[in-house]
Amino acid sequence: MADTNFTKSTDAPNTRALTIIADINIASLNDFFNVETLGAEHAQTVNIITVAGREITAQLLADVQPDVLLIRSVTPVNAALLADNHSVKFVGSATIGTDHVDQAYLAERNIIFANAAGCSKHSVAQYVVTSILTLRPQYWQQPLVLGIIGLGNIGSTLAQYAADLGWQVLGYDPLLPESKFNNASFDEVIAQSHAISLHVPLTHTEGMNSSPYPTHHLIDGAALAAMPADTILINSARGPVIDAAALEANIDKTARQVVLDVFEHEPQITEQLLSKLTIATPHIAGYTLEGKLRGTQMIYDALCEQFNVTPTLSMHQLLPVNMYQWSELKHNADRLVKFYDIMRDDQLLRKKVSDGQVSGADFDQLRRDYHLRREWQA
Ligand SMILES: NC(=O)C1=CN([C@@H]2O[C@H](COP(=O)(O)OP(=O)(O)OC[C@H]3O[C@@H](n4cnc5c(N)ncnc54)[C@H](O)[C@@H]3O)[C@@H](O)[C@H]2O)C=CC1
Ligand SMILES: O=C(O)C(=O)[C@H](O)COP(=O)(O)O
């Protein structure tokens, strides 16, 4: 069994340097990971090497041999990444999704893994409410039937916002018991909703992330054909949950309004697909200050647990005052859609089209330079 003790036997206590390789897009890394916040008995110095998530490679991990790897969603963590590394004891992903991490392999290597479940659930749910009310302001006055596929942290948070707005929720989640919101079949959600929002993990029929209810291409040509043409479709889960080719064909036929924050072939997007979407954003549904800091906090807390130290930093010490209350916004049509100007994010993405596509580099740059918005307080 691999050694999970962070203190190497050759190091005298208190002379230990802790080396962390981290995705540069993790918020407030230096605030959360330093000698004071991790406990001086574990690290007299903390070296953080920040790298773009897509540039965290097997070679880098073999050369640096860090103790800790902190990632977001764009770094696949698997045997290929870690085969020549013998030092990593802890991998933290400051994200909700875990489809990029081979957790069985990490367990085999006795490497502790932590993610940030639920960290941006309000941010993503607020993105969805904002997109619907931006596209169809009439639903301030009229009840909307909102279909929600996946009723975990994000789906159930969205369902609560919908209920607060007087909307009807048709929810489908085969892995949860029936409930007030988990009240419909997949076919009913598809056929009877005015808007459908997807909040499932990316899973497959076999291999890593396999599930009895796989979500890869869950929305395929057949599902799209059964969906009324005026139903809005929103995907802020993972791109491959929708079959992109079938989606393009369906939009050509129905002129459906489609909102995508995630794309099957992310980070590239073709101009052809983009031109058919009503709202398109570069995977930023969860990018609020609160959502990102909560993600960092959660992996910091998990590392502290491994070190057996009490966390000393709370994200609330880093957050500016937040005066935005759902109890006020939900009664004020104008203020809610101005609170988050989703069309600005859409336009910034469209401006990046060049030679028939948005390149991966431009997509990533928009995300790196994103002005983190605020969450409204539920
Ligand atoms: N666009 C963005 O910025 C973000 C995207 N995400 C994505 O959203 C996904 C969902 O996030 P959470 O709600 O926090 O996850 P969660 O794990 O709390 O909930 C997911 C739910 O989906 C259900 N589910 C699984 N397979 C299903 C199927 N075939 N049909 C219907 N329901 C199914 C599960 O039972 C679970 O209740 C994440 O896995 C991630 O990929 C998460 C955060 C930010
Ligand atoms: O939490 C998740 O899951 C997400 O999709 C993130 O919000 C986006 O993560 P990054 O792509 O910034 O790693």
Q: Do domains 3-115 and 121-285+333-368 have the same CATH topology?
A: yes
Domain extents in the chain:
3-115, 121-285+333-368
Closest C-alpha to ligand 2, atom 4 = 95
Both tokens assigned to 357: 């596509």
The pLDDT value recorded for residue 44 is 81
Per the annotation, the verdict on 248 as an active-site residue is no
Closest C-alpha to ligand 1, atom 19 = 152
Determine how many CB atoms are found less than 10 A away from the CB of residue 290: 22
Per residue in 295-347, pLDDT (tens digit) is: 999 999 999 999 899 999 999 999 999 999 999 999 988 899 999 999 999 99
Q: Whole-angstrom Cα distance, residue 207 to residue 225?
A: 29
Q: Is 97 close to ligand 2, i.e. is its CB under 6 Å away?
A: yes
Per residue in 161-200, pLDDT (tens digit) is: 999 999 999 999 999 999 999 999 999 999 999 999 999 9
Q: Which listed CATH number (3.40.440.10, 3.40.50.300, 3.40.50.720, 3.30.360.10) goes with 3-115?
A: 3.40.50.720
Q: Which of 199, 204, 205, 220 to mutate to test the pocket of ligand 1 (most atoms within 8 A of CB)?
A: 199
The pLDDT value recorded for residue 51 is 97
The pLDDT value recorded for residue 2 is 36
Ligand 2 atom, smallest distance to 23 CA: 13
Spatial neighbors of 311 by CB under 8 A, at least 6 apart, are: 37, 300, 301, 304
Ligand 1 centroid–CA 355 distance in Å is 34
Per the annotation, the verdict on 283 as an active-site residue is yes
CA-wise closest residue to 301 among 119, 49, 99, 178: 119
Which secondary structure element, helix H or strand E, spans residue 131, and what is its range? helix 121-135
Ligand 1 centroid–CA 223 distance in Å is 19
CA-wise closest residue to 277 among 216, 221, 234: 234
Q: Which of 154, 172, 187 to mutate to test the pocket of ligand 1 (most atoms within 8 A of CB)?
A: 154
The pLDDT value recorded for residue 320 is 94
CA-wise closest residue to 133 among 323, 291, 322, 331: 331
CA-wise closest residue to 133 among 305, 300, 279, 311: 279
Q: Give the number of whichever ligand sits closest to the CA of residue 263.
A: 1
Q: Whole-angstrom Cα distance, residue 95 to residue 115?
A: 6
Task: Tell me the average pLDDT across 350-378.
Answer: 96
Give the Å distances, CA to CA, from 175 to 122, 263, 342: 22, 25, 32
Q: Whole-angstrom Cα distance, residue 174 to residue 151?
A: 9
The pLDDT value recorded for residue 16 is 76
Q: Is 154 close to ligand 1, i.e. is its CB under 6 Å away?
A: yes
**In the CATH scheme, what is the code of domain 121-285+333-368?**
3.40.50.720
**Exactly one of 238, 294, 367, 374 is catalytic; which is it?**
238
Determine how many CB atoms are found less than 10 A away from the CB of residue 328: 13
Burial class (CB in 10 A: 0-12, 13-18, 19+), 360: middle
Ligand 1 centroid–CA 352 distance in Å is 29
- What confidence tier does 15 reach under pLDDT thresholds 50, 70, 90? low
Query: Residue type at 225?
Result: A
Per residue in 68-86, pLDDT (tens digit) is: 999 999 999 999 999 999 9
Q: Hey, which residues does 70 pair with through a beta bridge?
A: 22, 92
